[in-house]
Amino acid sequence: MIGNIDKERIRRFETMIEQANRIITLTHVRPDGDALGSSLGMFHFLLSRYNKTAKMLLPTPVPDSLKFLVDESARDHMFDYETSEAEVRKAISECDLAICLDFNTLSRIEQLGGLISESSCSRILIDHHEEPGEGFDLSFSVQKISSTCELLFHILMATDKISQDASRLPHRCAYSLMTGMTTDTNNFSNSTYPSTLEMASALIAAGVDRDDIIDKIERQYTENRLRLLGHVLKDRMTIMPEGVSYIVLDKKTLEEYNIKEGDTEGFVNIPLSLAKVSMSIMLKEDKDRIRVSVRSKAGVSARLMAKSWFNGGGHEQASGGTLHIPEDIPSIEMAADYIENAVHSFFTTKE
């Protein structure tokens, strides 16, 4: 048994789906591969195995780099609050079951969180982050697992519809889950457990084309991304004596290279290829805030750094956060000073 996946909870999961007439899935702001993969995996499972058409709701649009996951059968059922507010509000007001994927508290879905809080719908949480919030009727919260996609895979495998036979998963469901797990483990380079490899083996045996997934997520980027990466490595990467690398990307630079959502995916991981770097931090200016990504090698807590200095959290080696302008930091120009102060404090002060 993985985490809190047991027969009684699976039966309750199945019953809640069977009794629901209007189902929505929800995932976090700026959806990554795990968020989108778990949402689509759940959608295709509901459609193919229960003949239920769910609506997939997101706070912000799907990045261009992940649009390959959204096939024709799903496209007309996916709405984001930023561009389709009326449809999102209507779907939430009418739903009787919300399946929440890849976030631990309703605050992670911004305006949608308030709408769900006011709704009378039942709520299921499926997530792999620490400190799951309250307000859910059924929670599957497991931290020692690669991704929400992997957690959902094991949940679906335990249902009567699938009965531990991965070949019975709808193909688009299996493909989406494999994609999300692959992106969240950075292609098996972090947060990989025996259960993760069992999932991959089962899905490949069931016919999922892993080579196609790798081609889509690693070999379809824009030229501008590569040119920005060259600029970042040459002129924007600072390595501190503490073994911490940091990168600061301001809006002017992002606009100069015509960078879109998803184009900087993976940048923060690159400095960790250096022997002397144990932690990598990337700040990216976005409207009135600065988005923060923190990655680390084993033995150094990215989670604690993000929690202590960047209003965030996550996993031990992969976390994120946000700095608000001007509440936390006056401007992006002060980012380097802020990071260096944070790093000095972090490595000289015990938890």
Q: Are residue 214 and residue 229 in the same domain, yes or no?
A: no
In a domain, 1, yes or no: no
Q: Are residue 251 and residue 302 in the same domain, yes or no?
A: yes
Parts of the chain with a pLDDT under 70: 1, 350-351
In a domain, 2, yes or no: no
Q: Are residue 234 and residue 207 in the same domain, yes or no?
A: no
Query: DSSP string spanning 124-152?
Result: EEEE-SSS--S--SEEEE-SSSS-HHHHH
In a domain, 115, yes or no: yes
In a domain, 203, yes or no: yes
> What is the per-residue pLDDT for 190?
85
Give 142-177 pLDDT, tens digit per residue.
999 999 999 999 999 999 999 999 999 999 999 999
Find the helix or strand (DSSP H, E) in which 205 lies.
Answer: helix 194-205
Q: Are residue 294 and residue 310 in the same domain, yes or no?
A: yes
Crossing angle of helices 171-184/210-218, nearest 10°?
A: 50
How many C-beta atoms lie closer than 10 Å to residue 160's C-beta?
A: 9
Which class for 134: exposed (0-12), middle (13-18), buried (19 or more C-beta within 10 A)?
exposed
Query: 186, 218, 250 — which closes off a domain?
Result: 218
Tokens at 302, concatenated: 């990215």
Q: Are residue 174 and residue 317 in the same domain, yes or no?
A: no
Q: Are residue 212 and residue 314 in the same domain, yes or no?
A: no
Query: 180, 201, 218 — which closes off a domain?
Result: 218
Q: Are residue 130 and residue 111 in the same domain, yes or no?
A: yes
Query: 153, 188, 218 — which closes off a domain?
Result: 218
> What is the per-residue pLDDT for 56?
98
In a domain, 27, yes or no: yes
Whether the full predicted model's pTM is greater than 0.85, yes or no, is yes
Q: Are residue 261 and residue 194 in the same domain, yes or no?
A: no
> What is the per-residue pLDDT for 106?
92
Q: Which residues contact residue 222 at a Cβ distance below 8 angstroms, ignoring those fewer than 6 apart? A: 260, 263
In a domain, 93, yes or no: yes
- Total domains in the chain come to 2
Q: Are residue 125 and residue 181 in the same domain, yes or no?
A: yes
Crossing angle of helices 335-348/302-309, nearest 10°?
A: 120
For residues 302 and 296, the answer to whether their CB atoms sit within 8 Å is yes
Q: Are residue 240 and residue 340 in the same domain, yes or no?
A: yes
Q: In what order do the strands lie in the sheet with 279-286?
A: 237-239, 244-249, 279-286, 289-296, 318-324, 313-314
How many C-beta atoms lie closer than 10 Å to residue 100's C-beta?
A: 28
Q: Are residue 297 and residue 163 in the same domain, yes or no?
A: no
> What is the per-residue pLDDT for 88?
97
CATH code, domain with 48: 3.90.1640.10
In a domain, 179, yes or no: yes
CATH code, domain with 260: 3.10.310.30
Give the whole-angstrom CA distance, residue 339 versus residue 319. 15
Query: DSSP string spanning 227-285?
Result: HHHHHIIIIIEEE-TTSEEEEEE-HHHHHHTT--TTTTTTGGGGGGGSTT-SEEEEEEE
In a domain, 273, yes or no: yes
Tokens at 118, concatenated: 């006011």
The parent domain of residue 291 ranges over: 223-348
Q: Are residue 170 and residue 85 in the same domain, yes or no?
A: yes
